Amino acid sequence: MKPEDEAFLTDVHRNLDKQAIGPQSPFFVHLEELPGEVLGLDPVPMLATRVRRATPGSMFFLTGLRGSGKSSQLLRFKQHLERDGFPVLMVDAEDYLNLRRPIGVTDMLFFLVGAISDQAVAYDLIGKSDAAESYGWSRLREWLARFRVETAEVGVKLPPVEGKLGLRAELRDNPSFVEQLRGFLDGRVAELVAQAHAVVEDMVEQMRARWDRGEWKDLVVIVDSLDHNRATEATTFLEVRRALVNLFDLDRSKLALPRCRTVFTLPSLVTATETGVVRRVTNVKVMDHSGQPSWAGIDALVEVLRKRIPHRDLHRIFPDDESVSQLAELSGGNLRMLLQLAMEVITQAETLPVDKATIRSAIGEVRNSLLPLSDDEQARLRRVAMNHRLPLDSPERWEPVAELLDRRLVLGYRNGDLWYDVHPLLADEIKTAPEAAPGTETDP
C-alpha cells in the first residue's frame, strides 16, 4: 500500500474509533434534521422540555439499545439545556461504580455526591481544595468516620486519607468494601440520605455563588452508563434488574437530590411502568416491517460515514455508492455496528479503493462476531422476524431477551410504535431455524 494511503487509513481508523461524540464534533450528524424521520420521534427536545418545566428534585430517564447513540444524544441534550442557561454536569457511572454487580441505594448516594463534586471542580463551579479528594468525598468521609466513632462500630475499613482516589476507588474496585459499607449503614439509610442531601445542597449553593453566566437555574445532573449495569457469573440478570427497579421505584425519593434535576440512562429492559422512563433512543430505520430498504435511513448512515472520512472522500475507500449503501443497510441502523463494519473494511484493505471481495470478507467477519446461535436463540429470532416484538414468554424470562439485545442480534426501531427486527446480518441464519413454540410477546 502506498505510504499516503496508509496515512489516510490511519486517520480514518482514528475517526471511526471515536464513538460517543457530541454536537460540537466535526463528525456529528444531526440525524433528527434529516428527511424521513429516520429516528422516529426526537427524544432530546422533548426531554429538555420536561426538565425545563420540572420542579427541583425531579428525575428523568433515557433508555435505548446498545450502540444506538445514547451517549451522543445525552451530549446533545446537555447542549440544549446549557443554551437555555442551565448549569449541567455530566457524570459517568462506569467511572465510579462496579456495573457488573447490583447497585444499592447506599453506593448510589455515595456515587452521586462524589461524582457531582468531582465534575463541579472540573467545570470550575467549585474551587479546588488541598485535600486528596474533592469536597463531596471529603464530607462523606468525615461523616462516615464521625458516625463510626459515635456508634462504636468497627465493620467498615475506611481508605487512607492520603490515598489518591480514596472512597471513589473503593466504591468502584472493592466489592467487599461496598458490602461492608452497606452492612455498616443498614438501618441507618435515612441518616445517609439526610447527609447526602445536605452535602449536595451545600455544593449547589457554592456553585450558585460562583455562577457568572446569567441567572442561576437549578443544577441538572446527567448520569450516563447505568445502562451498562449487567450481570456476571457472580450475579443473575434478575438480581441486577431488580436492584435497578428498586432504586428508581422503592427508593426514588432517596435519590431526589435537592435543588437538582437528574437524568439517568437505564437498560432498555427496565421498563417504563416501573421507573417512569421518559424517552427512548432507537436505531436508525434502514428497513421497514417487510424487510424492504428504507432509503432515508440508509442515506443518513452514509452521511455518518462520510463525516468520518477526511475530506468526505468515501470513494477513496469504497469502489461505488452501492457498496457504501450496502454497509449502511447491513448495519441494521446501529451506529456502533456501522462503524465496526467500516473499520473491518479498512483493516482488510490492501489497496485503495478496496474491491468487492474485501467488502464481502469484511461483512462476513462482522457477521461471524454475532455467531454462533443456539437453537433456542434461532427460535427466538425467528419469532422476532415474524412478529416484530420481543419474544418474552413470561415476566420472569427477561434474561434470554436481554442477551439478544445486548449482543445486537435484535434491533429496535420507532416510526410511531416501537418495533423490533433481527439484525440483517443474520437474515440467512434464521431462514432455516425451526418454528418456535407459541408464547406471549410483550414489549419492555
- The DSSP output letter for 438 is P
Does residue 437 lie in a domain region? no
| Domain identity same for 324 and 425 | no
Position 52 scores a pLDDT of 93
All cell numbers assigned to 270:
427496565
Indicate the helix (H) or strand (E) that contains 82.
Answer: helix 70-83
Is residue 121 a contact partner of residue 180, using CB atoms and an 8 Å limit?
Answer: no
- With CA atoms as reference, report the closest residue to 335 among 65, 75, 13, 90: 65
Indicate the helix (H) or strand (E) that contains 408.
Answer: none
Does residue 198 lie in a domain region? yes
All cell numbers assigned to 24:
460540537
Report phi then psi at 220, rounded to 5: -110, 125
Give dist(CA 410, CA 216) in Å, integer. 44
Position 18 scores a pLDDT of 77
| Domain identity same for 322 and 192 | no
What is the pTM for the complete model shown?
0.88
SS3 content of the chain, % helix, strand, coil (to 5): 50, 10, 40
Does residue 9 lie in a domain region? yes
Question: What SS3 state is found at 423?
Answer: coil
- Which residues are CB-contacts of 162 (< 8 A; sequence separation ≥ 6)? 132
Give dist(CA 21, CA 131) in Å, integer. 33
Indicate the helix (H) or strand (E) that contains 216.
Answer: none
Where the chain has pLDDT below 70, the residues are: 148-165, 233-234, 271-277, 394-396, 432-444
Domain boundary among 259, 281, 303: 281
| Domain identity same for 145 and 211 | yes
Domain range for 336 is: 3-21+285-369
Domain boundary among 351, 369, 387: 369
Position 432 scores a pLDDT of 55
How many domains does the chain divide into?
Answer: 3
Q: What is the pLDDT of residues 132-177, one digit of tens each?
A: 788 999 999 889 888 766 554 545 555 544 444 578 888 999 888 8
> Diameter of the chain by CA atoms?
74
Does residue 31 lie in a domain region? no
Q: What are the angstrom distances between the C-alpha of 9 and each of 139, 358, 435?
A: 50, 15, 45
Give dist(CA 342, CA 308) in Å, integer. 10
Does residue 440 lie in a domain region? no
Position 165 scores a pLDDT of 53
Neighbours of 95 (CB within 10 A): 13
Position 261 scores a pLDDT of 95
| Domain identity same for 208 and 353 | no
Does residue 172 lie in a domain region? yes
Instruction: For 100-149, give the DSSP string.
Output: TS---HHHHHHHHHHHHHHHHHHTTSS---SSSS-HHHHHHHHHHHHHHH
